[in-house]
Amino acid sequence: MAGLPGRILRGTNPVPVIKAEPDEGNAGYFPVVIAGPQDSPFEGGTFKLELFLPEEYPMALGRICLDILKDKWSPALQIDTVLLSIQALLRAPNPDDPLANDVAEQWKANEAQAIETARAWTRLHTMNNI
């Protein structure tokens, strides 16, 4: 697995903006923490993700609605670029390429209400969860 980062930390106090370190028992598994971007409905939240590198890595990666993981994937991309792109989705969700169709439909039908729901769920489920 050439090109794997040993550790990715972006940002500082009080929590890194993005933190990913390989699991001690499995170098292909990264527990990831991404902070919700400022000035977004997810601000103040900390989001826990799991990154599993497939056997095909670096030729393939991912199952999320993110163009660089699908048709724009390149083995030259770094994992930190992928994580920054995931964080960018929190700042600017794309309801035209959803993972959850019902959420995308709500976002399209009433964006203001969807943003308020995202803020409420962020407060309820993701604050202080590290």
pLDDT of residue 65: 67
The number of C-alpha atoms within 13 Å of 24 and in the hemisphere containing its C-beta is 0
* Per-residue pLDDT at 25: 93
Catalytic entry in 60, 64, 65, 68 = 65
Q: What is the pLDDT along the chain (130 residues), one digit of tens a residue?
A: 334 455 555 555 444 588 888 899 998 898 999 999 989 999 999 999 888 888 888 887 766 767 777 778 888 888 888 888 888 888 888 898 888 899 999 999 999 999 999 999 999 998 765 5
What pLDDT was estimated at residue 66? 74
Interatomic CA distance for residues 116 and 111, integer angstroms: 9
Which of 23, 13, 3 is closest to 82 using CA atoms? 3
- Asked if 65 is an active-site residue, the reply is yes
pLDDT at 77: 80
Q: How far is CA 10 from CA 13, 88, 112, in A?
A: 10, 14, 30
Q: What is the pTM of this model?
A: 0.75
